[in-house]
Amino acid sequence: MAILVDDAIWPWRGYLFCHMISDTSLEELHAFARWVGIPDRAFGGDHYDISTDIRSVAVAEGAIEVDSRTIVLALRTAGLRIRRISR
């Protein structure tokens, strides 16, 4: 039961973004997102897209820093992975 974040490498509107997921449930993910102030619009079906500023807050609140492969593996293992074509 953990919240995971990968490296912020995705540029958008002058910021770098990363992915934040739960390795257990969407309920855990949504609760953590509310806790750190992430808006609902940042949810992408199986993850949140968050900026480096929010990533720092998430890590300070207990999110674990991992690489992007670990993100995908954790989503698949938990049965939460949504293929891009299904979004």
Sort strands 3-5 and 64-65 into parallel, antiparallel or unpaired.
parallel
Whether residue 86 has pLDDT greater than 70: no
Question: What is the domain extent for residue 30?
Answer: 3-86
Distance separating alpha carbons of residues 14 and 86, to the nearest angstrom: 28
What are the structure tokens assigned to 55, written together? 């990533």
- The number of folded domains in the chain is 1
Question: What is this structure's pTM?
Answer: 0.90
Render pLDDT for 24-40 as a digit per residue (tens, 0 to 9): 999 999 999 999 999 99
DSSP SS3 for 68:
helix
Q: Dihedral sign, CA of 87, 38, 22, 8?
A: positive
Closest CA to 61 of 3, 16, 18, 1: 3
Instruction: Give me the pLDDT at residue 1, please.
Output: 78
